[in-house]
Structure 1
């Protein structure tokens, strides 16, 4: 009888272990939700159980290559984000370095000495705030579009920087933990300064900035975060599917690609009136509007018409009286993008940025589509 009970106990333990392993595997394979969080004057609203990863933005780079938190980023806000682990112990928090118009990356990657300063200082910040890794937002290697320093050598130098940073993070983990290393990137010309797929070997994943396809720098209005190409778009019109294909074709594994979505819209003024403002010339604005402001000032305003593009799979707003157009994502389009991510075995969805949501309406859509559906 004792032998029978012992065998039963062994079977029970084995079954429990298999269930635990199966659950862990399912969790590892389920698409991730990654949210960028910036500092700001308003109290932090962040439901930690709805996310897998928080990218805290931004640390920046000095001319000598060292990384630091600028004066306008309060350490207290980063501590508050870290404290959210109390609500979700599995939440991973990484420090994002860079952002649009943040320079000195070219110098930081150029020499062994500068790379050492970059690595030492960024890892010191990681440990100081008890973070889970680093996210590099160099926009973009070899390009000076944002008025930052750049060089043709950036392409290879960035690869070396990432490889050395990966090696150092592994040393810091000492085989007991894995620190994350990720980057933000865009397709096409913006990716020509990336040695794909070599850098993918050093990275846990790449967050695609699949938004701002249309804005102040484009010739016409358009869907700034379209999933698919609209027939009205030009042949070289950008969209999410094309961006994902670019990285897949370059050899980046699908599970290391995260689709980026905006929690904001792009605005256009003095717009041509054809097609309810879509793909028309404009002469003013090209700016931004948060999802929160769209909800409270546009969606229930009779002066604004709500439209849906069946091909691009995104909405837009049109004000015929003022000749203004707004391109944005809403709960419907985000649910469709989440389904696209799952269908193609992609890593997950990244969004910019937490403060622009409205009572976490958009975050709830992503959480439900990518987490609840996976259970």
Structure 2
């Protein structure tokens, strides 16, 4: 699931100044030292004040293109946001920019993947879009094959057809890339945004692995409006209070490793936002308790300014899960989120497991790049 937050008027106005900002920043941004670990961020747009940190990012994934009439397209009003990301290559020539197709509640995948002709149309249009926009690859965010919780259509055949769709996309990207001088180390990349646990029951992880450059593990939103309890929405390890096979980041990684995916192709997810729950059972300061209703999301700056140890919210740390949470005993509100301490734990985990790196949702949710800086420091 992807939690999107609208950009502020200030951000929208600032976006008009992006070309000038890029020109000035291109003289000032130093290229950080290289690292075997990569930082990948999804981005719905670009905030010019973040340009100073563009050298810390290896890949930006534009969100989103969508399936339309079987083809992969970008809404005319969103093309400018993609172009803003591509313009950053003038500052960081090593930066890669992928186009992601899909997102939570976006359908059309099951239908397109159901026939050979449909898969070819989807794949060819995706490759042509990547080439036409001078992007570096495609990210497929089908949430989720065989599932319809988000309101999209699904089919028992999705498991087989998902593999065939990715195979078709890989073929089209390679063919289009060869025609555009993009082959070998410079080939068009293909990644997926993918969940874990029961949400990959209808995915043959081992079968799709050969077609992918890497996996973006959506190790966030473990608890949300549709789960029965609160909890760590992006926890690293199991809490002592978690029940059964509850979802965690390390369990997701073990699931994919067991399916044969090399560790260097796995990118765990970090959240630049928190999730708030209301009318929560007060036991254990609200952690893994039933709740009355889901309250909403808060981006990192809002959490710092208004919630962390403010207005009755107290920060707690779960040493087992390596994750923080906020609890307001008076209002019985609970908030789960990532912060510098949990980010540091995730970076140490990436190194200990020799993973590919970190992925985060979403660039504009942390305008000062505080958490991005923590990721970069942790991996360098």
TM-score (norm 1): 0.88
Write the distance in 1 (CA, Å) between the matches of 2:59 and 2:226: 31
Q: Is the 8 A contact 2:49 2:368 kept in 1?
A: no
Match of 1:232 among 192, 217, 241: 241
Q: Is the 8 A contact 1:215 1:286 kept in 2?
A: no
1:278-309 Cα distance to aligned partner (Å, 9 max, x none): 11111022521111110111125251111101
Which deviates the most, 282-291 or 223-232? 282-291
Match of 1:205 among 214, 238, 246: 214
Q: 5 Å matches for 1:101-112?
A: 101-112=105-116
1:350-374 Cα distance to aligned partner (Å, 9 max, x none): 000011114000000111112xx2x
* 2:205 partner SS: coil
Match of 2:58 among 52, 65, 74: 52
Deviation at 1:171, TM superposition (A): 2.1
What's 1:369 paired with? 378
Q: Is the 8 A contact 1:215 1:287 kept in 2?
A: no
Deviation at 1:221, TM superposition (A): 1.1
What's 1:251 paired with? 260
Match of 1:272 among 281, 284, 287: 281
Cα pair distance change 1:224/1:363, threshold 3 Å: same
Write the distance in 2 (CA, Å) between the matches of 1:85 and 1:343: 31
Q: Is the 8 A contact 2:45 2:363 kept in 1?
A: no
Q: Is the 8 A contact 2:45 2:85 kept in 1?
A: no
Matched, 1:183 2:159: no
Q: 5 Å matches for 1:278-293?
A: 278-293=287-302
Write the distance in 2 (CA, Å) between the matches of 1:234 and 1:345: 28
Structure of larger gyration radius = 1
Match of 2:306 among 288, 294, 297: 297
What's 1:140 paired with? 144
Deviation at 1:337, TM superposition (A): 0.3
Q: 5 Å matches for 1:108-119?
A: 108-119=112-123
Deviation at 1:336, TM superposition (A): 0.8
Displacement over 4 Å in runs of 4+: none
Matched, 1:221 2:230: yes
Write the distance in 2 (CA, Å) between the matches of 1:275 and 1:218: 18
Match of 1:353 among 344, 353, 362: 362
Deviation at 1:173, TM superposition (A): 2.6
Deviation at 1:246, TM superposition (A): 0.7
Write the distance in 1 (CA, Å) between the matches of 2:279 and 2:291: 5
Q: Is the 8 A contact 2:45 2:84 kept in 1?
A: no
* 2:228 partner SS: coil
Write the distance in 1 (CA, Å) between the matches of 2:324 and 2:309: 15
Match of 1:158 among 156, 159, 162: 162
Match of 1:33 among 21, 30, 39: 39
Q: Is the 8 A contact 1:36 1:353 kept in 2?
A: yes
> Any gaps of 5 or more consecutive residues in structure 2?
1-32
Deviation at 1:342, TM superposition (A): 0.9
Aligned residues: 342
Match of 2:71 among 66, 69, 94: 66
- State the Cα RMSD in Å: 1.7
Write the distance in 2 (CA, Å) between the matches of 1:167 and 1:60: 20
What's 2:94 paired with? 90
1:100-159 Cα distance to aligned partner (Å, 9 max, x none): 110000111111221222122212221221100000000111111111111111111111
Matched, 1:328 2:337: yes
1:296-323 Cα distance to aligned partner (Å, 9 max, x none): 1112525111110110101111111111
Match of 2:173 among 169, 175, 181: 169
Cα pair distance change 1:157/1:141, threshold 3 Å: same
Write the distance in 2 (CA, Å) between the matches of 1:39 and 1:49: 17
